[in-house]
């Protein structure tokens, strides 16, 4: 199990240091298989599947997303308790 780090460990200036946060999160090992299975059911062509290092924010922003019926992301979802210091109550 990954060590819980303080939320402040991921801040750089006024924002979150996304590279440091990404390194601290565990790999999502089964997501490639999951994504490929969904793509096969939907009849997606392999060139439309972006995995691992090819699945970047820049790559997604370059795609004509309006031309797709489905855009499927496999991501981490951070909730209270995942990162020490993360808000434990809903934002109001």
Q: Express each pLDDT in 8-57 by its tens digit.
A: 777 777 677 777 877 877 788 888 999 999 999 999 999 999 998 898 88
- Which of 29, 25, 31 minimizes the C-alpha distance to 86? 25
Residue 71, pLDDT score = 92
- 3-state secondary structure string across 70-87: CCCCCCCCCCECCEECCC
Question: How much is the pTM?
Answer: 0.60
Instruction: Copy the structure tokens of residue 25.
Output: 């999160």
- Specify the range with the lowest mean pLDDT, choosing from 43-57, 58-72, 78-92: 78-92
Averaged pLDDT, 50-66: 91
């Amino acid at each position: 199990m990954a060590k819980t780090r303080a939320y402040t460990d991921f801040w750089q200036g006024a924002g979150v240091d996304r590279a440091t946060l990404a390194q601290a999160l565990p790999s999502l090992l089964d997501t490639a298989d999951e994504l490929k299975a969904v793509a096969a059911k939907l009849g997606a062509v392999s060139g439309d599947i972006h995995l691992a290092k090819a699945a970047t924010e820049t790559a997604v922003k370059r795609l004509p997303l309006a031309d797709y019926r489905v855009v499927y992301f496999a991501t981490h979802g951070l909730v209270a308790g995942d990162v020490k210091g993360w808000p434990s109550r809903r934002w109001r």
